[in-house]
């Protein structure tokens, strides 16, 4: 097994996600993980996330429709569920980490879009954060309940539309009323989120760029005494 074969598998995985060939994607991912011992972060950063970014670009250019994006997302999710999440769970069980960092992610009430949320969830998980996924169309109160239940220190509220973006403010207000706002790092995610909006609703992080958002979250976690890689 040489470098050329490994690189071909990365390309096959990338291409299979873009065209939503789930069987081919799973086969390539399994070989990379189990034959070439590629770790989760490398798999995410070199194939899964770039492929989904490209799918988003194809949609923006009008070359893909929502159905095409959904099929690629299904392929991405299949790899997450069948390969990546079991590895991450196993790593957690064997690690000596005593201070878990839990995030609660959800798409706000009135919004059923979840591609961005799912990508962020995958990236945060691959980087050692435990993520509780509340799904879509999530009322503010459910975010509050989840923070209490899981002792979460990060909340990610996603909105794809300017109309549902208002619900991010409602989540923050609900957290404030419950006495939890100062205990969590709040990420306002989604395409319509701007720095001005983040400042207006008094969120902590602009999640419209997942990678920049994660770096900001790490910085805030360190300031709170959490060890991050």
Asked if pLDDT for residue 188 goes beyond 70, the answer is yes
In the predicted model, what is the mean pLDDT of the chain?
92
pLDDT at 116: 86
pLDDT band at 176 (very low <50, low <70, confident <90, very high): very high
- Give the span between the Cα atoms of 148 and 153, in whole angstroms: 10
pLDDT band at 88 (very low <50, low <70, confident <90, very high): confident
pLDDT at 205: 98
Higher-confidence position of 76 and 94? 76
- Mean pLDDT calculated for residue range 176-183: 97
DSSP 129-169: -EEEE--SSB-HHHHHHHHHHHT-SEEEEE-SSHHHHHHHH
- Give the span between the Cα atoms of 56 and 49, in whole angstroms: 11
Asked if pLDDT for residue 155 goes beyond 60, the answer is yes
pLDDT band at 94 (very low <50, low <70, confident <90, very high): low
Of 15-29, 132-146, 175-189, 212-226, where does mean pLDDT reach its minimum? 212-226
- Give the span between the Cα atoms of 37 and 200, in whole angstroms: 46
Neighbours of 90 (CB within 10 A): 10
In the chain, % of residues over pLDDT 90: 73
Torsion of the alpha carbons at 30, 33, 36 and 42, rounded to the nearest 10: 130
pLDDT at 89: 80
Beta bridge partners, 108, equal 138
Asked if pLDDT for residue 91 goes beyond 80, the answer is no
- Mean pLDDT calculated for residue range 96-115: 86
């Amino acid at each position: 097994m040489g470098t050329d074969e490994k690189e071909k598998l990365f390309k096959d995985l990338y291409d299979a996600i873009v065209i939503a060939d789930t069987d081919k994607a799973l086969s390539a991912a399994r070989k990379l993980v189990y034959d070439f011992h590629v770790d989760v972060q490398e798999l995410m950063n070199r194939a899964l996330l770039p492929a989904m970014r490209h799918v988003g670009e194809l949609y923006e250019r009008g070359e893909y429709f929502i159905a095409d994006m959904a099929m690629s997302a299904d392929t991405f999710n299949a790899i997450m569920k069948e390969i990546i999440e079991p590895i991450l769970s196993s790593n957690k069980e064997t690690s000596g980490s005593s201070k878990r960092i839990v995030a609660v992610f959800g798409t706000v009430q009135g919004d059923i879009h979840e591609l961005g949320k799912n990508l962020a969830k995958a990236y945060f998980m691959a980087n050692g954060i435990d993520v509780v996924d509340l799904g879509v169309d999530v009322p503010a109160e459910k975010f509050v309940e989840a923070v209490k239940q899981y002792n979460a220190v990060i909340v990610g509220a996603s909105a794809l539309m300017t109309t549902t973006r208002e619900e991010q403010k409602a989540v923050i207000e609900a957290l404030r009323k419950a006495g939890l706002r100062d205990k969590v790092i709040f990420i306002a995610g989604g395409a319509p989120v701007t720095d001005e909006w983040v400042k207006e609703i008094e969120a902590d992080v602009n999640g419209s760029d997942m990678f920049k958002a994660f770096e900001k979250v790490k910085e805030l976690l360190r300031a709170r005494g959490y060890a991050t890689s």
